[in-house]
Structure 1
């Protein structure tokens, strides 16, 4: 009996040992699992999320249409568009010794080979144009350019296309006929449709220098010239000008005026040009202050001391260089 009881106790002891060992193994395994599950880099084992394709354009990259892709750090302005604010319109790089620098924030365009491509418009120096000459009664010599009456009737009206919102006003052009005759005229007027591009409507006096008046219409070639003159430029404020609105006109300039700017508290401000040949400050900015003129060759002349006196041609002491 004693032996049987001892054997039973031994069996029970062995079972407790085996159960304890099993519990320890299970505890160790569970602890190891928790350590692995909670380690810091566990997120690397997470299932991947859906991928999103992001394409960043390269600076200066060219699209299929041939235009430059915008830089990711700035907005693009279409080539040839007008800057949104008048004062920030680019100014010419070529200046004379009398010209003052533009406002520091004003961007400057790249130089061109001729220096005049961005200034001259349709009528460019060194270019010969073909068309026809007709004639009209010039009366006292005044016209759409509003220069006023003149005793010099060697003048002409430019066709609307080449008149280009009065850019042609004041230009001197040499006109040649097929018979070899020539005459130099100043543009003071506009010839509306049906005047075609290249056509000049000459005063009767100027037409007579080329051909018999009864012909009425002759083929011509013509080109821009920069004549000799002893006159200086005059400036005139339009009737109704004040400190709140003004129109400014240049008179007697040797070369066509490409730009007129006025000095304001923020720097030089370019004024828009009207088809009646005045540069207008709609809010009065710069009216009565310094004025800067730029011709189609890029020369700049700065004039101070012009009083805000409407409808008075005030002479200056400056004139554009001859070319």
Structure 2
């Protein structure tokens, strides 16, 4: 009888621990196909949450739900990604430029030109599937240095990348220092100095490349500016 009571007590403790400490949310593999729904909106070409202006007004773009935007716990992980989206009428590729705050997991808020390619505009909401694909771009990275950046505080964004950017580090005194990715799609650093920055950038596949960014301004009086990069992720 004592053994039986002990087993029951152990089970109760395990159940309590499960309630108090729920499992960490599981994420799909980066290249898995998601299924959900799409709506459409005319916004996202300027002032989007992930600060990718300016955006060509003829581009097919999308806002992305918070679960997928912040993939694997990284803020703005899929900002600037390209998604192949399939709907009732066919498929197209869209560029992630904004957040869809109220969107369910998997949901997209497409630009009208993208929505019309894969569904009937009159429907307003359609069933879709999508996956991350290699960006249909050429050339190397570019970097947007946010306004107010300096040797003391800086926010740096990676643009024109084949695959979503998950991590950015810079080398200081022989060690790699991780920069936190913010929800506005910039990597934040402090006390980075006024020498050129050697950086290591890692994509959603785990592929990493090295590059050098010109020295930051000595003070924080400059506006935002873009500098060209020298590398690109492998295909």
User: Quick check: 1:155 aligned with 2:61?
Assistant: yes
- What does residue 285 of structure 1 align with? 192
Equivalent-residue separation in structure 2 for 1:176 and 1:142 (angstroms):
27
Number of residue pairs matched by the alignment: 203
- What does residue 101 of structure 2 align with? 192
User: Quick check: 1:318 aligned with 2:224?
Assistant: no
Change (3 A) 1:286 1:128: farther
**Could you tell me how far 1:141 is from its partner in structure 2?**
4.5
Equivalent-residue separation in structure 2 for 1:192 and 1:225 (angstroms):
23
Residue from 294, 305, 313 that aligns with 2:202: 294
SS in 1 for 2:118: coil
Equivalent-residue separation in structure 2 for 1:124 and 1:240 (angstroms):
37
- What does residue 306 of structure 1 align with? 214
- What does residue 133 of structure 1 align with? 38
Change (3 A) 1:225 1:127: same
**Could you tell me how far 1:286 is from its partner in structure 2?**
6.0
> Cα RMSD between the aligned structures?
2.3
User: Quick check: 1:169 aligned with 2:79?
Assistant: yes
SS in 2 for 1:248: strand
Unaligned stretches of 5+ in structure 1? Answer: 1-63, 66-79, 82-120
TM-score (norm 2): 0.79
**Could you tell me how far 1:305 is from its partner in structure 2?**
4.1
Pick the structure with greater CA Rg.
1
User: Quick check: 1:263 aligned with 2:176?
Assistant: no
SS in 2 for 1:162: helix
Equivalent-residue separation in structure 2 for 1:124 and 1:308 (angstroms):
36
**Could you tell me how far 1:299 is from its partner in structure 2?**
1.5
User: Quick check: 1:183 aligned with 2:96?
Assistant: no
Change (3 A) 1:142 1:210: farther
Deviations 1:283-323 (A, max 9, x none): 3236751121111112111111423255111111211122x
**Could you tell me how far 1:183 is from its partner in structure 2?**
0.7
Equivalent residues of 2:65, 2:108 under 8 A apart: yes
**Could you tell me how far 1:138 is from its partner in structure 2?**
2.7
Equivalent-residue separation in structure 1 for 2:174 and 2:145 (angstroms):
22
TM-score (norm 1): 0.58
**Whose relative contact order is higher, 1 or 2, with alpha carbons under 8 Å and at least 6 apart?**
2
Equivalent residues of 2:66, 2:105 under 8 A apart: yes
